[in-house]
Every structure is written in structure tokens, then in C-alpha cells.
Structure 1
Amino acid sequence: MPVKTSYKENISIALQSIAGNRLRTALTSLIIAIGIMALVGILTAIEGVKQYTTDAFAGLGANSFTIQNRGSGLNFGNGGHRKVYPAIRYDQAERFKKLFTLPVVVAVNLQVTGTAVAKYNSQKTNPNISVSGSNENYLATSGQKIAFGRNFSSSELEHGSNVVIIGNEIKKRLFKESDPINKLIFIGDNKFKVVGVFASKGSSAGFGGDKFCVIPVLRAKQIIATTNPSFTITIMVNSPAALDATIGEATSLFRNIRDLNVANDANFEIERSDSIQQELSGQLAGMTAGGFAIGIITLIGAAIGLMNIMLVSVTERTREIGLRKSLGATPAVIRKQFLIEAIVICLIGGIGGIILGMAVGNLIAVNISGTFVAPWFWLISALILCTFIGLISGFYPAKKASKLDPVEALRYE
């Protein structure tokens, strides 16, 4: 009479078989672990970089856009150079700010230099300080905050006073633990009074960290070495829903300011604040697909190796299979035992691969971005994938074992 066994008994028999062949189990699990490690490691590293880029651009304001005289992307059909249009003059930028009547926040900005040296008494920074000019709306449109001190006053902006708000890196380098407010510092050859210090954002504050400072835009216009500087206009709207309509209104107004008629193409660019993040997200999506493909290829190799080892196991245990069948085990019971054994081996290797993959992936991610992540979706997917691999790899060996003739199996040497 056929013997019926429960899944619990099948698992127990599979575990006994695994315990009795520890070296083979370890080698088989190691094959799976390497495949899962490759998959989880690559995807964890990419997830860490993705989270870092999201955090880095979150403070730039998803509801803003910038009017500028050059594109941000590369034009590969033009020798790899960006399109450059006539400079946006200060009077044009100020006229736009005055005439644009929608409920938005407008900042007029000018990049002065990225290689300035800041000095206070005998202390000085490296020549890597970024200096830019802006108005009272810089904080709102850039996502920066004042740690202590204040923003520019209306009078300082109107007269282009020698005042500056410095980044935290400059404060630490020049003033250590002392209070920098109302102290006079040199930025290049110009003396400025410190009126505020930006809150630290570390490496996520754009790409220059906290090594930057902001002065009144009119003062920036006076000290910049370029004879015909181009200003940028950053507009922040109240909600994402109003962004497209606001861009349309801003484009129309600025075309009028630039004296462009309907037949003329726009001689300026409008850059959305989330466009760079979207471009990076697209590249990371491609990297994720590539990483997934590499991991799957590795796992296919691991699955073939597991199937081969399970076939060897069936051959080695032919007499055992014959004995179980002679005692009443049905083909279905034998098939379940080998399938469960393959799945358990895969899950053992999968758990080890997940631990190794998390370690390797986060080691890469932390070195690149300083962000530690636990990609739960990929971890759960890896366990499901291990179960699937166990089923696929163990099906043929299990089917072969279940079809063995018990008499012939007992005669096997």
C-alpha cells in the first residue's frame, strides 16, 4: 500500500539528506550564493546611488525652472558643445522680475567664479570657493537655509553692498568655532562683511559641497571679470501643477523682453530643476537593467550547476530510492523529496548570497555616496528567485528519481 507523507516529513527527510552530504551541500549553496551576491550586490549599489541622487536634488526645488542663455545638455551634432545664445543682461533680468505678475518667487543670479580664495586674518581657504550673486529670493529658490545670521536687506541689494553669506565649509576653515557674523573677510581682492552662514548640506549641496558664498547680485555684476556676463533667472512656483503653465507665461514675457517676434526662435533656454535628476534616473534605470541582466546570467550558470549536482545525487542515492519505493513510497513522494531538497539548498545559498550582496553593495554605495540602503524589494525578490531556481533545477532530477524502477534501483552498485 502506498505511503503518504506530509510536507513536514518531506522537509525533514530533505534536511537529513542535506546534513548527510555537507560538503556537496556547501558547494552547491556556494554556487547559488555567488549568483545571488552578484545580483543583490549590483542592485544594492545602484539603489544607494539612486537614493543619494534623489536626496541631492531634493533641495533644489521640484517646482522651479531657470531661464538662461545656454543649454545644459550636450549637442553631439555640434562637436559636443552646448548651444550658447546672447547673454541675458542685468536690466533684462530685473525687468522680467518686475513685470512677471504670477504668484511666484523670482531670483536673479550671476555666477562670478568657482576658484576664489577666502581669507580672514592669517587663515585662508583653498582656491576652490564658488562665488555667486543673487537677491533676497536665493534661499527660497535654491533650497538653502540660514544656520545663523540673516538674509540680505533691501538696502544692501539696492546699493550692491559688500556683504556676504558664506557656506559652512568657509566658516569652519576661517573661523573655527568663533562667531563670523559682522566679521570682515577677503574674497579675492574684495572685502566683505559676513552677515549670515548657510546651514550645512555636505556633498548634497549641489556638487560643490559647502564651499560657496553668495553676495548681492548688483555687487557681483560690479566685480565680475567678464565684460558681458549672462545672468540667470530662477522662478519657483507654488505647486507642480502650475509649473507648465508658468513656464509658458515666462517664455512669452521673456520673448517680449528680448524683442523676439513670432517668426524668431527663442534665443534662451528654460531648464527645469528636475531635468538633471530625470536624466540621472534614466541612466540609473539602464544600470539597474544591466545589473539585473548580469545577475540573472550568473544565476542561470548557478542553476545549471545545481541541476548537475542534483543529478549526481540521484545517481549516488539510487539504492536509497529503490529501498524507499520498496517500502511504499510513491513517485510523487520521491519527486517532492528531491524538489524540496533542491529548494532548501537554494534558500541556504540565497540567504548567504543576500548577506554577502548587501555587504558588497553597501560597501560600494557608501564609498560612492555615503548612503547605506536595504533594498527590501530586491531582497524579497531574491528569495522568491531562489525558490524558483530550486524548482527549475530540481524538477528533472526529481522526475528522473521518481521514475526509477525499485527492483533495478536495489540492484544498483
Structure 2
Amino acid sequence: MPVKTSYKENISIALQSIAGNRLRTALTALIIAIGIMALVGILTAIEGIRQFTNDAFADLGANTFTLQNRGEGLNFGNGGHRKVYPAITYDQAVRFKNNFKLPVVTAINLDVTGTAVAKYGNQKTNPNIYISGSNENYLSTAGKKLSFGRNFSASELEHGSNVVIIGDEIKKKLFKTEDPINKSVYLGTDKFRIIGVFASKGSSSFGGGDKFCVIPVLKAKQIDSTKNASFTITLKVATPAALDATIGEATSLFRNVRGLNVVNQDNFEITRSDSIQKELSGQLAGITVAGFAIGIITLIGAAIGLMNIMLVSVTERTREIGVRKAIGATPAIIRKQFLIEAIVICLIGGAAGMLLGMAVGNLIAVQISGTFVVPWGWLMFAVILCTFIGLISGYYPAKKAAKLDPVEALRYE
């Protein structure tokens, strides 16, 4: 009479077989773990970077755009090359701001350096402080908030006073628990009085995190050592619906400011904050496909390795299969046993691979200014994939085991 074996019993038999061949099982699971780690690791890193960029650009919103003399250069496959036009001068930026009549918030900005050292007394930061110049509208257009202190006054902007608003990390490094307002700090060789502190955005935030400070744009022009420095103009409209019309008006006015005729092409770029995000998202989608392909190729190799080891297992256990068949086990039961064994090995390796992949992926993401994520969707996909690999890899060995003649199997030495 055929023996009926439940899934629970098959799993128990599979675990006993695994426990009896620990080295072989460990090596097989390791192959699967490496494949899953590659897949989950790459996709976790990309997911962390994607969330970071979404959060970063969400600060700017979908209703800002920037006039500048170069493209963004977000195409990773373009060698970093960007279109570069004649610099936007300070006078051109001011003339544009004064003559633009639509209801917008306009900030004139200049990036001075990203390698400055901030010093206060005997305390100093690493040489990784970003210094930018801007006007009273920087907070609104850049999506920043003040933790305490105040914004630039009209007089400080007009005269290019030595005042500065510092990032939260500079405050913590130089002042600890001391109130920094009205204290003097050196940025490079220039001395500035602190009038405000930005609210913290976190170390992985866009644009230098909290390791940045902003000074009046006229003062930035005076201390900037770059020859023919180019300013940027950022405009924020009231609603996204007004964005296209405002960009059209801004383009027309800035062409006049730049002295361009009707036949001349624009010699500046207008970049929308949402277009930057969309472009970067497109690039990340391409990298996701590439990472997915790398992980799948690795897993195909792992599946072949698992099938080979399962075939060895069938050969080694031929006599055991004969005994089981002799006492009533049907081919279906034998097939089911080996399939479950292959799936269990895959899931053991997959669990290890998912943990390692998540750790490696988040480590990479955080190191390149991403955020820590738990990619639940990809983890569920990895579990399903492990089960599928176990079925595919175990099917042929299980079929071979089920077809063994019990008499011949019992004779096998």
C-alpha cells in the first residue's frame, strides 16, 4: 500500500538530509546567498539613493526653476560633459531681478567653494564646508528653514556685510551648546558675524547636508577667487500651474538682458526642479535594470550550481531512495521530497543573502549620501525568486530520483 507523506514530513526529511550534509548544504546555500546579496544589495542601494533624491527635490518643490550658464549634466553615460555658455554676471542677475514683473520670489546665488574651513577660537571644522552667496530669498527658493536667528537685512545685502547664516553641523562642531548668534567665525581668511542657524536637514541631505553656510551675495562676489564667476538665478512661483508661463516671460527678459537678437539662440539654460528629478529618476531606472540583470546572471550561475549538487545528492542517496520505494514511497513522494529539499536550501541561502544584501546596499547608499531603507518589495521578490530557483534547480534531480528502479537502487553501492 502506498505511503502518504505530508508536506510537514517531507520538510522534516529534507531538514534531516540537510543536517546530515552540512558542508555541502553550506556551500550550496552560500552560492545562493551571493546571488541574492548581489541582487538585493544593488537594488537596496539604488532605492536608498532614489528616496534621498525624492526627499531632496521635494524641498524645492515643483514650482521653482533656475537660470544658469550650463546644463545639469545628469547623464551618467555622457562622460560628465555639459553645455557651458558665457558666465552670468552679477549686474545681469540684478538687472533681471529688478525688471522681472511677474509675482515670483527671486534669489541670486553664487557658489564660492566646497572646501572651506570654519574656525572659532581653537575649534575648527574639516575642509568640507560649502560657502554660497545669496539674498533674502534663499530660504524660500532653497526650501530651507532657520532653527534660530534671522535672515539677511536689506542693508547687509546692499553693502555686502560680513554676516553669515551657518548650517547646523557647523554650529554643533564649533559651538557645541554655546549660543552662536553674534559670535565671529572665520571662513577661510575672512571673518563673519553669525546672524542665524539653519534647521538641520541631516548629514545625507542634498547640497552639502548641514556642512554649509550662506553669506550676502555681494560679499560672495568680493571674496570669490574664481575668474569670471557665473551667478545663478532661482525663481519660485506661487503655483505649479503658473510655471510654464513664468518660464516663458523669464526667457524673454533674460534674452534682452544678455543682448540677444531674434536670430540668436539662448546662451543660458533654464532648469526646472521637477525636470532634474525626472531626469535623475530616469538614470536610476537604467541603473536598476543593469543591477537587476547582474543579480539575475549571478543567480543563474547559483541555480546551475544547486542543480549539480542536487544531482550528486541523488547519486549518493540512490540506495536510500530504493529503500523508501521498497516500503511504499511513490515516485510523487520522492519527487516532492527532493523538490522541497532544493527549495529549503534556496530559502536558507536567500535569507542570508537578503540580510547581507540589505547591509551592503544601505552601506553603499549612506556612503554616497543616500538614506537607509528596507526594500520590502524587493525582499518579497527575493523570497519568491528563491522558491522559483529551488523548483527549477531541483526539478530534474527530483525527476531522476523518482524514476529510479527500486530493485536497481537497492543494489547500488
8 A Cα contact 1:55 1:204, kept in partner? no
- Name the CA shift for 1:23/1:222 in 2 (closer, same or farther; >3 Å): closer
| Deviation digits for residues 89-113 of structure 1 (CA, Å, limit 9, x no counterpart) | 4443334334434443211223445
8 A Cα contact 1:57 1:204, kept in partner? no
Query: How far apart are the structure 2 equivalents of 1:21 and 1:317?
Result: 12
Instruction: Read off the aligned partner of 2:308 and give its amino acid letter.
Output: N
Deviation of residue 140 (structure 1)? 0.7
1:385 equivalenced with 2:385 (yes/no): yes
Deviation of residue 172 (structure 1)? 4.5
- Correspondence for 2:104: 104
| Deviation digits for residues 319-356 of structure 1 (CA, Å, limit 9, x no counterpart) | 33233333333322222222112112211222122223
Query: How far apart are the structure 2 equivalents of 1:18 and 1:188?
Result: 64
Query: How far apart are the structure 1 equivalents of 2:395 and 2:79?
Result: 57
Query: How far apart are the structure 2 equivalents of 1:13 and 1:189?
Result: 75
Counterparts in 2 of 1:14-413, with a 5 A limit? Answer: 14-73=14-73, 82-113=82-113, 129-172=129-172, 175-185=175-185, 192-204=192-204, 206-221=206-221, 229-369=229-369, 371-413=371-413
Query: How far apart are the structure 2 equivalents of 1:51 and 1:359?
Result: 17
Deviation of residue 123 (structure 1)? 6.1
8 A Cα contact 1:61 1:236, kept in partner? no
8 A Cα contact 2:346 2:390, kept in partner? yes
For structure 1, the 5+ residue unaligned runs are none
Query: How far apart are the structure 2 equivalents of 1:352 and 1:359?
Result: 11
- Name the CA shift for 1:151/1:9 in 2 (closer, same or farther; >3 Å): same
Q: TM-score, normalised by structure 2?
A: 0.84
Instruction: Read off the aligned partner of 1:70 and give its amino acid letter.
Output: R
- Name the CA shift for 1:406/1:234 in 2 (closer, same or farther; >3 Å): same
- Name the CA shift for 1:6/1:212 in 2 (closer, same or farther; >3 Å): closer
8 A Cα contact 2:53 2:277, kept in partner? yes
| Deviation digits for residues 44-85 of structure 1 (CA, Å, limit 9, x no counterpart) | 333334434444444344432111223333999x99864443
Instruction: Read off the aligned partner of 1:328 and give its amino acid letter.
Output: G
Query: How far apart are the structure 2 equivalents of 1:36 and 1:371?
Result: 21
Q: What secondary structure does 2:196 align onto?
A: strand
Identity %: 81
Alignment RMSD (CA, Å): 3.5
8 A Cα contact 2:74 2:279, kept in partner? no
Deviation of residue 183 (structure 1)? 3.6
Q: What secondary structure does 1:59 align onto?
A: helix
- Name the CA shift for 1:28/1:243 in 2 (closer, same or farther; >3 Å): same
Q: What secondary structure does 1:201 align onto?
A: coil
8 A Cα contact 2:74 2:280, kept in partner? no
Query: How far apart are the structure 2 equivalents of 1:226 and 1:20?
Result: 71
Query: How far apart are the structure 2 equivalents of 1:104 and 1:235?
Result: 6
Query: How far apart are the structure 1 equivalents of 2:163 and 2:321?
Result: 87
Query: How far apart are the structure 2 equivalents of 1:54 and 1:212?
Result: 21
Instruction: Read off the aligned partner of 1:400 and give its amino acid letter.
Output: K
Q: What secondary structure does 1:147 align onto?
A: strand
8 A Cα contact 1:86 1:267, kept in partner? yes
Deviation of residue 370 (structure 1)? 6.9
8 A Cα contact 2:164 2:213, kept in partner? yes
Query: How far apart are the structure 1 equivalents of 2:385 and 2:14?
Result: 20
- Name the CA shift for 1:11/1:202 in 2 (closer, same or farther; >3 Å): closer
| Deviation digits for residues 349-368 of structure 1 (CA, Å, limit 9, x no counterpart) | 22122223333333444444
8 A Cα contact 1:183 1:194, kept in partner? yes
Query: How far apart are the structure 2 equivalents of 1:360 and 1:85?
Result: 41
Deviation of residue 391 (structure 1)? 0.6
- Name the CA shift for 1:266/1:40 in 2 (closer, same or farther; >3 Å): same
- Name the CA shift for 1:333/1:141 in 2 (closer, same or farther; >3 Å): same
Q: TM-score, normalised by structure 1?
A: 0.84
Query: How far apart are the structure 1 equivalents of 2:153 and 2:200?
Result: 22
